Chains A and B, each alone.
Chain A
Amino acid sequence: MKEYTYTEKKDTRSGFGAAMTELGRTNPNVIALCADLVGSLKIDTFIKENPDRFVQCGIAEANMIGIAAGLSIAGHIPFATTFANFGSGRVYDQIRQSVAYSDKNVKIAVSHAGLTLGEDGATHQILEDIGLMKMLPGMTVINPCDYNQTKAATIAAANYEGPVYLRFGRPVVPVFTDAEQTFEIGKAWLMNEGTDVTIIATGHLVWEAVQACNQLAEMGINAELINIHTIKPLDEEAILTSVSKTSCIVTCEEHNRIGGLGDSVAQLLIKYNPLPQEYIAVDDSFGESGTPKQLMEKYGLDTDHILKAVEKAIKRKKAE
């Protein structure tokens, strides 16, 4: 297993904030909008340095999405920011009509996605947003894994013409990707080559998968690890190439098993190469209050669960 290490832990949302600071200095068309969650989205520096390019919308997300769409018409690049729950499900129709169907260059950048926002509980822990957003024609869906990748993804989203849903989170997690990485939307990152099983992970689950791969290596299992930061468009070629070697797959995401990355991969495999697949995802339920670590364990998203899923996938492969 290729070695991945870290010297510090940071939240992915701070990677977004750092990118916005950079964009504020380098791209005069970038505008930030927020629905009363500036501190949580880490855009204080952007606002301080570019007060004219910040639009405080108050707790009114539907209006924020519409304003972002209007801002984009003459060439501004609006980043509409809030929590993932309020920037997806709550405003689905606004995103559908005013952004996606209107072909608007709007970036919906949302924090506190998934279970790992922790103690606030299920009202805030959206686990359906990837599904909602990937169903919209023309929408790009990105779910980066650490601070550095989130920063790079944000800058890539600003440079890309078209609507983007950029999803990140609240907790501090290891920073294990390069600070100076190139981020290509829709291009998977092959983190480790292997032959026994393909593990595809997105977001906070990538680090869990790295740990799982380390343990698998000790057990003599060669896992191929792919980081899918872009869920739509999906890097189909990378996935198909990998499973042609490994013949079984485990998908890992902090999302409902219905409608997320796992389903996108399953759809791909059904069409081109049906193979045993195991899901690491929340099993069609809401979350609850707890620490991120407790929740990841209870809802089956941690390293131990990935190891069990790998074991099961390999067993199914051998049984066929």
Chain B
Amino acid sequence: MVQVTDIVQLTKIASQVRRDIVRQVHGCQSGHPGGSLGCTDLLVALFFNIMKHSNQFNMKGEGEDLFFLSNGHISPVLYSVLARSGYFEVSELATFRKLNSRLQGHPTTHEHLPGIRMSAGSLGQGLSVAIGAAISKKLKKDSCLVYALMGDGEQNEGQIWEAVQFAPHHKIDNLIAIVDVNGQQIDGPTELVMSNRNLANKYSAFGWQIVYMDGNNMADVVTSLHTAKELCGQGVPVVIMMKTEMGAGVDFMMGSHKWHGVAPNDEQLLLALAQLEETLGDY
């Protein structure tokens, strides 16, 4: 993949990805725009700048960095960055959540969409899978890294903590976990639904190295990812606490859990698109 190093250029790609997200969700009147918009800067930085990967998709991913999305409901952002990276035609984004599509509501390997290595949707499973892939890379003497993105609401799941316990014990140091700390989940603010209080301290107590990231500031996203990469290979897993705003980039979707899983109507779509520059051409 051609690496984009210019922050302005990355920000422009992110603007197009955000357009793709709201248009996908509007197109089927279904899906999860809030978390997708919040995580856009991270995924753009990973796929266009940080990760070593090939859009000539190979399931095994040998010699490539791997990305696993655990909070699978933010599929629109993943589908957009994959399409914009050339894994498949951007026009296919129009099929999102529609019958006979490879772009299922939640990502799946089952329809053979290039770029997807694991099904996700039922929460709490992606970190375990990423750990398995990381162990596999070590056994195969593959020095590339494995990334796993989770939600902060998802931290409610017990399996996450089984995995959080496992990784330091087994010195999984070729893994960068990322928690999208947007403070929102379906039923309301995380602090009210099920508090994650002192999340970073919890990871730290289990033996992880912590990196903090301003997840909606492209320069900081890139810098923090470099910091995390430098911490790899020291016998300790790395987690990034990524502070984001749900709905980032679309003012009326920001600051609330209400746009977690709601599609904009025609009028709202126009309002959203007016705030997002079309930089690469809409699909």
Could you tell me which A residues sit within 8 Å of B by CB distance? 31, 52-53, 55, 57-58, 60, 62-76, 78, 93-94, 96-98, 101-104
Contact = CB atoms under 8 A, between A and B. Distances in A.
B163 A74 contact: no
Contact of A102 (B110, B140, B142): B110
Contacts of A67: 128-129, 131-132, 135, 166
Given A64-B128, A73-B60, 8 more contacts: A58-B165, A60-B165, A63-B131, A67-B166, A70-B131, A73-B133, A98-B129, A103-B109
A69 B118 contact: yes
Contact of A66 (B131, B139, B142, B165): B131
A90 to B, nearest CB: 11
Contacts of B134: 70
Contacts of B136: 70-76
Given A53-B139, A98-B118, A101-B119, A71 B133 contact: yes
Contact of B158 (A62, A76, A103): A62
A98 B158 CA distance: 16
B282 interface: no
B108 interface: yes
B159 A63 contact: yes
Given A71-B132, A103-B109, A63 B119 contact: no
B177 to A, nearest CB: 13
Contacts of B127: 66
A57 B119 contact: no
A20 B103 CA distance: 39
Interface SS of chain A: helix, strand, loop or mixed? helix
Contacts of A104: 118
A98 B106 CA distance: 13
- Shortest Cβ-Cβ A-B pairs, 5 listed: A70-B132, A66-B128, A63-B162, A60-B162, A67-B132
A55 B109 contact: no
B249 to A, nearest CB: 30
A97 B136 CA distance: 20
B110 A70 contact: no
A71 B126 CA distance: 13
Contacts of A74: 60-62, 133, 136-137, 140, 142
A68 B132 contact: yes
Contacts of B241: none
A97 B159 CA distance: 14
A70 B166 CA distance: 14
Nearest to B68: A70
16 contacts: A52-B139, A63-B159, A63-B166, A66-B126, A66-B132, A69-B129, A70-B131, A71-B135, A74-B140, A75-B136, A76-B139, A97-B122, A98-B128, A102-B118, A103-B109, A103-B110
B47 to A, nearest CB: 18
A63 B121 CA distance: 16
Given A66-B127, A69-B118, A78 B132 contact: yes
